Structure 1
């Protein structure tokens, strides 16, 4: 008669079967975890890229608002950088210095009380002193001062208040794409025809008569390392999306495709669309969504 219990052979067989079952279960579990992680990476990559593209497309559609044909409202640089601009204020000033400005000049004449007799019609129209309210300041300077001083919610002007400093873009359209740069507008002098450049940096370029001054918004998209960055109004960039390994931008205009846009002689208003492709890699997952959009303001010119 056999005593209770298991033989050594039975125990070994049971252990073998248990090990096999545990191996199958463990392999299945690890496989499921891998698939889950892969799916999580894929979802995260898609969400990040979609969010970045949504922001970019929204900016692209607003680009060019209240800007003229000869202003670079949309720029593509080397196929890897996109610059979008729109005007924020209807009053645009002109540079009314017959010798232009350069170097350290920080008082910018934007009106002329005594234009020369030989001045062009364009110069007189842009720079003629206008003072309908008789306060001694050109009416356009009045408008800019009211805009500047109201930025902090209080219409009264306060000297030294950094919340009343406006970023202004000066642009000379006379050469190619035109030269341009940002500066801080922080006040006006008592002449009634000058505004003041607040930052102490020298002008990067020289600007001729009738260069224009805009209160506008600029948003520049570019790749730095593996981060898609957004820089605003000439400032440094801030990261939007990480794990980006490629950014490709193309502009389509006049049946041609450009990675540098606009070329000489072509206006931004000829745009058919801008195509942006963002390539992202997260783990082993790589995605490269692409989108096309056109500034709605091209249809108003």
Structure 2
């Protein structure tokens, strides 16, 4: 009898775990290309709600979004924009002064792409960009702020091309082919307080100079920097970066390495170096967390609650246990 009850409990736990972890699993249909038109209208989905110049997701969206209007805010409200391994998640052909925030963009070639004729002064913040095969963020425009994003499993996390005066800070860029790339000219951007870890390269530069990079955690990248015809500033106000492969000493215990971290450049040596390499990583409190364990923690909590209920009911007979989890009801006879 006890064994039978235990078997039933195991089935309940498995079912509840599935319901908690995947409460909205179902068949989804790609919505094709969605447009935010120049007149402000939305075409191709009913899952983006307009309120003036603010466009907010009301559910997960499956398809590509083309933005044809200036001066808008696209707020994902922590919903997802899903691709099928191709195309562009959010494509901006020739517009600007946009804010793109709080969207989970997954499985495109480009998650966010500001094309050659796109305009300046954009904000890209608080997004989670994963499994986008080519680029997480690709930007031609200038004077942009890119902050608070989590970018993983892309060819390049952030790519700037012919782009000037950008500010990139408090992002987590991990597990990509390249972390941040500067290409085909451009420069005078500031990069600070980012975690750039476990990438093929942390930084790549192609004819891009006068960028300032400081206060970043550069950890376990296969290569830290590749710079071609580029010379940049690797510290600011007597503060450099944390390099996990730095092997210098700190004899006066001021937290700064005694010798510079030398940056190799080609085809000639421009003398680039981080003159104030940090001996310890930058405090994580300046870099936002993006927890990925939430579903598992919820599921663990549900299992614990069920175990307590089972223990209380184990000594009763013919009881009816109703488990209510995320609007699902499971009835078990014990």
TM (normalized to structure 1)? 0.22
Name which one, 1 or 2, has greater alpha-carbon Rg. Answer: 1
More strand by percentage: 2
TM (normalized to structure 2)? 0.20
